[in-house]
Amino acid sequence: MSGIDWKIEALDFTTCNCDFSCPCQFNARPTHGDCRAAVGFRIEKGYFGDTPLDGVTFVGLFAWPGAIHEGRGEAQLILDENTAEAQRKAVAALFKGEETEPGATIFNVFSNVVDTYYEPLVRPIEFEADVGERTGRISVAGIIEGTGEPIKNPVTGQPHSVRVTLPHGFEYHEAEYASSTVRTAAEALVPLEWASGHAHFARVSWTPQGVAHG
């Protein structure tokens, strides 16, 4: 149960190594047997207790040897260098699912299936996300380069639009689905690499009670 009042409204650019659509979204097993993911968030409006979070950007790297619900995961948080110490502590708490009702947000769910949280890193983060256009970029020098683009029709080459609604989801209410390419570098403690993987873009609103739906 949460003891601190908080709220964030953020841009969410999520990628994973599975095929387009990500089987996890449909309670199916991962495409390649394991799950690896890179996520980026830019908080447009938010607070954690007395700490304002407007403009805070952060990235998370995740890996599980099997399906997420089977556990044994590892996670690495990267905070933008422009964040203040209080903001870093606030985001680190949210990243570990703290001050959140059980199962209410994706990071709280992950806290039950991640065995290893590495020490957070502070680095310059380049982050772009356009939900409508389904394009985005995550870049942290020496750690990760990731891009998102629309899924292409294999015959015409035209962008293919797919929108998924999860009325009871713990990450988003509605997201635009896309394609991703991700590769990590030497400093990443969670190595990731794929092309033509899954991506989704969303605007999310979270509180200790979970995702704002509707």
Domain-located, residue 53: yes
Task: Note down the domain range covering 68.
Answer: 6-210
Nearest by Cα to 1 from 94, 95, 101: 101
Domain-located, residue 1: no
Domain-located, residue 193: yes
* pLDDT at position 2: 57
Q: How many folded domains does the chain comprise?
A: 1
* pLDDT at position 3: 87
Q: Could you tell me the CATH number of the domain that includes residue 120? A: 2.40.400
Strands in the chain per DSSP E = 6-16, 35-48, 51-52, 57-64, 73-80, 114-117, 121-123, 126-130, 135-140, 144-149, 151-152, 159-160, 162-165, 174-184, 193-207, 210-211
Domain-located, residue 15: yes
Domain-located, residue 128: yes
Domain-located, residue 111: yes
pTM listed for this prediction: 0.97
d(C-alpha 21, C-alpha 8), whole Å:
25
Domain-located, residue 125: yes
* pLDDT at position 26: 94
pLDDT means per 10 residues in the chain (214 residues)?
88 98 95 98 98 98 98 98 98 98 97 98 98 98 98 96 97 98 96 98 98 90
Domain-located, residue 24: yes
